[in-house]
Structure 1
C-alpha cells in the first residue's frame, strides 16, 4: 500500500477516525462470535469419533483380510475333498471290475470242474460198457487181450487201451492246468482288490480329517464374518454420530455467523443513521477536486485485501467506492444496490473516468461496483483485493450490468 499524502489524510477527519473505531469494534465482535459456545466440546467429540471410526475401519480391514485368508483355505480344503472323493469313486469302480473278474473266474473254474466230472463219468461208462465182461475190470481186461486172434490184433488192442488211458490222463492234466491258471488269476485279482480297498480306507481317513477341517474352517469364516458385521455396525453408528456432530457444529457456526452478522448490521445501521456524510442523490454532484485526484487517491489502496462487509480500513466493493468518493465530497450509499440508484444512468459507450460501473456477480442485479478510470479499465475491491481490471475481459464483460454518473462534469 502506498503512503498517504498529508492532504489525503486531513480529509479523513473525525468521521474517518470514528469509522476506524467502528470497524475495529465490528472485527472484535465477529471474532468473538464466530466461535460457538459449544464448539470446543463438539470439535473434541468429533475428533474422538473420527479417531474411533478410523480405528474401527482398521479393524474391519484386518477382519476382511482374515476372512479372505480363511475363505481361501476353506476353498483349498474343499478342492482336496473333491479330489479325494473322485479318487475313491474311481477306486470303487476298479474294485467292482476286479470283483466281476473274480466272479467270472469262479464261474469258469466251476465249468471246468463240471466238465472234468462229466468227461470222467463218460470215460468210465465207456470203458465199463466196452471192456467189462467178468466179475472184475482187471479180469475182463486180461480176457479181452487173451482173446486176440493174432499178434497184430493183440498189438492193436494194447494200443487202443493206451490211447484211451492217454486221453484220460491228458484230459485230467488239461483240466488241472486250467484250474491252476484260474487260481493264479483269481489270486492276482484278489490282491489288487485288497490293495485298492486298503487305499480307499486310507483315503477315507484323510477325507474324514479334511471334512473336520472344513467344518472348523467354515465356522471360522462365519465367526470372522459375524465379527466384521458387528464392527461395521458399530462403525455405522459411529458415522451417524459423526454426521450428527458435524451437523451440530455447522448449526453452531451458522448461529454464530448469524449473530455476528446481526451485530454487524446493527452497528452498520447505527453508523448509517448517524453519519452525516451519508446521503442519496439522483443527479450528479460537484466533486471537491479533480477526477484525476480521486483516481490517484483510489490507487493508494492497491493491494488492500477484500473483506466482505468490511468498512475502512477493510473494504468490500461498495465500501471502497463509498470511502473514496466520500473523501472528495460525494456521499454515496453503503451498499451496491443503493449506489446503483444514485446519480444518473450512462451507456457503456459514453463512459467517462469517475463513473461507477456495476456488475451482476453472485446474485441477480447490481451486486458488484467499481470506479471507471478510462480505456476500459476500472479499479475495484474484489476477491484479489483492491486492483485494476479490464471491464472488457471475458469475466467482467459477461457480467456487466450498467453504469451511473455521480460526478457533475
Structure 2
C-alpha cells in the first residue's frame, strides 16, 4: 500500500468513527457513600471538586449518601444513546402511570403511603420506589441536591419549587408533560400547571434521578 493509499484509508476510518457518534469516553456515575466528600471523590477520578460541582449543578459542597454524581467524560451519542433515550422515556411514562393511580389521595404532612396519605416528598419517594427506582426518603431540598439538573424535562422528571412555606426548595412534583405536574399539595394529590399562577411564582427548575 503506497503512502497516498494509506492516507486515504486513515481518513476513511476517521470519518467512520466521527459519524458513528461515539465519543472517546463515557461519563462515570458515582453513588455517594458515607464519609465521602467532593474532594475525595474528585481525587479518585483526577478532577477537582469544582468540576464535579459544575457538572452536577451543585451550589454547595454538601452531598448526601445515595446521591448520584456525574463525573468527567462524555457520553456516547450514537444508536446506544437513542436506545437509552427511548428506554428513559418508557420509564418516565411508567412512573407517571403509577403516580396517577394516587390522584385524590389526601395530603398529610410527613406522609409517604396511600394509606397514611402523602406530603410532596413522600409522594415522590413512594412512586419512584414502586416504579423500581430504589431511593431513600428525604425532603424536597434533599431530592433537589440528589437530582441532575435539566433544562428540557422529560415525562417523569422532577419539578422543584422554592419559598412555598419556607426558604429554599420546599416543594416537588413529577413532570407529566405539556407544562403540567402531578404532586401532593393542598388537600390531595392533584395535577397543576407549572408556569402559571401560584406555582409559576415559585418555580425553580427540573431535575432527573
Please indicate, yes or no, whether the TM-score normalized by the shorter chain is above 0.5: yes
Question: Which structure has greater helix proportion?
Answer: 1
Match of 1:306 in 2: 107
User: Quick check: 1:291 aligned with 2:129?
Assistant: no
Question: Which aligned pairs between 1:87-126 and structure 2 lie closer than 5 A?
Answer: none
Residue of structure 2 equivalent to 1:341:
145
Shift of 1:290: 2.5
RMSD (CA atoms)? 2.3
Q: Tell me the distance in 2 between the aligned counterparts of 1:373 and 1:320.
A: 15
Deviation at residue 331 of structure 1 after TM alignment: 2.8
Q: Deviations over 1:9-36 (max 9, x none)?
A: xxxxxxxxxxxxxxxxxxxxxxxxxxxx
- Distance (whole Å) between structure 1 residues aligned to residue 128 and residue 167 of structure 2: 25
2:190 aligned counterpart, secondary structure? strand
Query: Greater share of strand residues, 1 or 2?
Result: 2
For residues 66-112 of structure 1, the C-alpha deviation after alignment (integer angstroms, 9 at most, x for no partner) is xxxxxxxxxxxxxxxxxxxxxxxxxxxxxxxxxxxxxxxxxxxxxxx
Contact 1:312 1:320 in 2 (8 A): yes
SS in 2 for 1:282: strand
Residues 236-275 of structure 1 aligned to structure 2 (within 5 Å): none
1:374 — aligned with what?
177
Aligned residue number for residue 384 of structure 1: 187
> How many residues align structurally?
126
Map residues 8-407 of structure 1 onto 2, 5 A cutoff: 279-283=66-70, 290-313=91-114, 314-334=117-137, 335-347=139-151, 350-360=152-162, 361-406=164-209
Distance in 2 between the 1:337 and 1:364 partners? 10
Q: Which string of whole-angstrom CA distances, capped at 9 and with x for unpartnered residues, describes residues 238-258 of structure 1?
A: xxxxxxxxxxxxxxxxxxxxx
**Conserved in 2, the CA contact under 8 Å of 1:282 and 1:341?**
no
* Alignment gaps of 5+ in structure 2: 1-64, 71-83
Unpaired runs of 5+ residues, structure 1, are: 1-277
- Whether the 8 Å CA contact 1:317–1:368 is kept in 2: the answer is yes
Using the TM superposition, give the Cα deviation of residue 282 of structure 1 relative to its aligned residue in structure 2, in angstroms: 2.8
Displacement of 1:280 after TM fit?
Answer: 2.8
Moved over 3 A (4+): none
Given that 2:92 and 2:157 are in contact with CA atoms closer than 8 Å, whether structure 1 keeps it comes out as no
Which digits, 9 at most, give the CA deviation of each residue in 1:299-318, with x for residues without a partner? 00000010001121321000
C-alpha deviation, 1:346, in angstroms = 1.2
Q: CA deviation at 1:394?
A: 1.4
For normalisation by structure 1, the TM-score amounts to: 0.29
Using the alignment, how far apart are the partners of 2:69 and 2:135 within structure 1? 11
Q: Give 1:293 deviation, angstroms.
A: 1.7
CA contact (8 A) 1:332 1:339 kept: no
Q: 1:193 — aligned with what? A: none
Check 1:402–1:333 CA distance in 2 against 1; reply closer, same or farther (3 A cut): farther
